[in-house]
Amino acid sequence: MAINDHPPGTQTDFDAVEEFLTETLVPEASSRRAAIERADDAGMPRIEVMPNHGKLLELLVQMTHARRVLEIGTLGGYSTIWLASGIQPGGTVVSLELEARHAEVAAESITAAGLIDRAEIRVGPALDTLADLRSSGAEPFDLIFIDADKENIPAYIDAAVELARPGAVLILDNAVWHGAILNPDSADAAAIGVRRGLEAIGRHPRLTATAIQTVGSKGWDGFAIALVT
């Protein structure tokens, strides 16, 4: 049977495949499970990356030999743990978080994972913190992961490129947003933010990029990945 002869997958199928891939390729460490549980206990939304995507972040950090990583959007620290797990000795993940309580919970989880020496959480509006990093002459970043409020994605991308070294990798999460990016007149501000972010990546003179659609326990989504030139 050719692959095109298979019936379309259902959400149940997507969930089952994700579970198989995770169990086969990405066994979940107790510290990462604990980070999700701690975030749940704190009442945070379950919008962290999936384990397979977290592993991709770790692999990208390792493949690029990143020493400085910028994360825009900490939440409960789950993705921060993945990023910090892949970073080189002496490297740092600078993670930006709006909510002080989220940052506090994330710091607890990162500490419990034994990675707090590789992570620095900065609290406040990300655009303000990004401006502070630029004005202070921060050392350029090798990899940047954007997973924060969608309305500001275009501004985050512009700031990220300014803070990146040539050859850095930029990853944008939620790049498909359940297909809502197709509607340029959507009433969903988040969908418009993602769409404009993708358009900003596509026209930026220092970025060359692609995007991948994904399905899984969190539905239809995807990510964009770009090289800073």
The SS3 assignment for 225 reads strand
Integer Cα distance of 197 and 202 in angstroms? 9
The SS3 assignment for 226 reads strand
Q: What is the mean pLDDT of residues 134-139?
A: 96
pLDDT tens per residue across span 145-182: 999 999 999 999 999 999 999 999 999 999 999 999 99
Written as one letter, the residue type at 51 is P
pLDDT value at 130 more than 50: yes
Query: Please, are residues 103 and 124 in contact by the beta-carbon 8 Å criterion?
Result: no
Per-residue confidence at 2, pLDDT binned at 50, 70, 90? Answer: low
Integer Cα distance of 27 and 149 in angstroms? 29
Residue-averaged pLDDT of the chain: 94
Residue given tokens 């592993």 in the structure block: 55
Query: What domains can you pick out in the chain, each with its CATH number?
Result: 11-228 (3.40.50.150)
Per-residue confidence at 1, pLDDT binned at 50, 70, 90? Answer: very low
Give me the pLDDT at residue 4, please.
61
Select the highest-mean-pLDDT range: 11-25, 33-47, 89-103.
89-103
Integer Cα distance of 84 and 78 in angstroms? 10
Give me the pLDDT at residue 151, please.
97
pLDDT value at 119 more than 80: yes
Instruction: Using a pLDDT cut of 90, give the percent of the chain over it.
Output: 86
Kindly list the distances between the CA atom of residue 101 and the CA atoms of 3, 72, 104, 134, 148, in Å, as whole numbers in the listed order. Answer: 47, 16, 5, 26, 16
pLDDT tens per residue across span 32-61: 989 999 999 999 999 999 999 999 999 999
pLDDT value at 187 more than 80: yes
- Give the CA radius of gyration of the chain: 17
Instruction: Using a pLDDT cut of 70, give the percent of the chain over it.
Output: 97
